[in-house]
Amino acid sequence: MGSSNLFVISRVLVLVLLLAGSVSASLAGTLVSVSQGRVVVADQSSKTQRSAAQQALKQVMIKISGQREILDNAAVKSAIREPQQYMRSYRFEYQNNTLYYIAEFDFQALSSMIQHESLPLWGQRRPDTVLWLAMEDENGDKSIIDDGSVSPVATQLRALSEERAVPLVFPLMDLTDSTAISIYDVWGRFAQNLTTASQRYSPDYIVGARLYRVKETEMPDLSIEQQTQQQAATLRYESNRPVLSSQGVDGLSEFLVDDLLKEARAPAFSQDEFEAMSNQKRGDYGLDWVVISQGNIEFGSLYGDDELSLAALFFEEYADFLGQHFAIIPTEGARNTIDIQISVANLDSLAKYVHVEKYLSDMSMVDDATLVKQEGSVASFSLSLLADTQDFYNLVALDERLKPVVDRAGQPIEGFNFYWNE
């Protein structure tokens, strides 16, 4: 899990209520390929191929499970020693004067093996993340990494995004972004401003981070001039933001809502906390982060010896975090399944019935899906789940096609009732 100089220094969970500028309450997600491994190689010799095949399968196992720890499992280690038994095809490919070994593995066979070992299993629908990353150069100048950046850190994070099958985008930082957010918002990790600026990207997760060289006696926050500009920007935002009445937050007073939002905009650490952390062993660089999703906000920090290894560690930890949230731990076959019946509305054609049945059958946690009743445009399916119903809802939430039926208040109605969106 990284070298001894790279470690998590703090992890704080804050539950807040975000205003009308928040991301959608339902996740969307992107369908990704998890069965392909891609490895840089020096040549096409047999020895190189064997080693590359093992590395490619390691990548795929981590993609499918969402966890790096899966490589410690004895059955997984055995599979990696003989990757050919799971391989469907391989090829070599040149890109930008670099030779890659690309292998495609049997997803169903690997899923069955993971299921047999009761290891985490993560489907191909993955949450989308927008990353607002502010960096400081040797002169102390700060900038936001944008979509067109070819810096080593940006290049590495894109590669890790593909390697871990975790969709990631950087902001465009065009006129729209520049108007909505400033470097001071990103550097300060102000949750409300990050959330508002991220609306156009419709992400499932918003990450704000700052990467800087650690200075022994200096807190990595804004200068007096920058703080003044940030306060002015916040005042401009406050004067224009919508007001949320107490009725919209389950009886909480407006004063409490304001207190929560102030906490969300506050820096992750106080001066006292920073001084306490400064006495602990750490690397030459720091990365402070905030992760925002559906009203949940997490702050934390990592330290390392250089920018590239620190950025890589952060993304690996973040990918593991998503895997822990969305992966399921199935039991083998139908030995311990949960049987439920769901209804799906808006199936007004034979093609839609076929699509829904295939959609349900292809879900990583569904052991069996059977059509049991059909009345007009509503069909009932019997499902055998390899995990609990909350895992089922989490997986469904990553795809706009199967949407829970809600009441006038926007809450899911009782039972497993869905609407097919095609």
Average pLDDT for residues 215-236, to the nearest whole number? 51
CA atoms within 13 A on the CB side of 68: 13
Lowest mean pLDDT among 27-41, 77-91, 148-162, 264-278: 264-278
Confidence check: pLDDT of 46 > 90: yes
Q: Is 97 exposed, middle or buried (0-12, 13-18, 19+ CB in 10 A)?
A: exposed
Could you tell me the maximum CA-CA distance found in the chain, to the nearest angstrom?
A: 71
**CA 186 to CA 31: how far, in whole Å?**
29
What pLDDT is stored for residue 174 in this prediction? Answer: 97
What pLDDT is stored for residue 216 in this prediction? Answer: 67
What pLDDT is stored for residue 336 in this prediction? Answer: 66
Between 243 and 164, the more confident residue is 164
In the 8-state DSSP scheme, what is residue 245?
A: P
CA-based nearest residue to 287, from 193, 157, 159, 146 = 157
The backbone torsions φ and ψ at residue 364, rounded to the nearest 5 degrees and listed phi first, read: -60, -25
138-142 contacts: CB < 8 A, separation 24 or more? 138/213, 142/183, 142/187, 142/210
Between 239 and 94, the more confident residue is 94
| pLDDT interval class at 245 (50, 70, 90) | very low
Confidence check: pLDDT of 50 > 90: yes
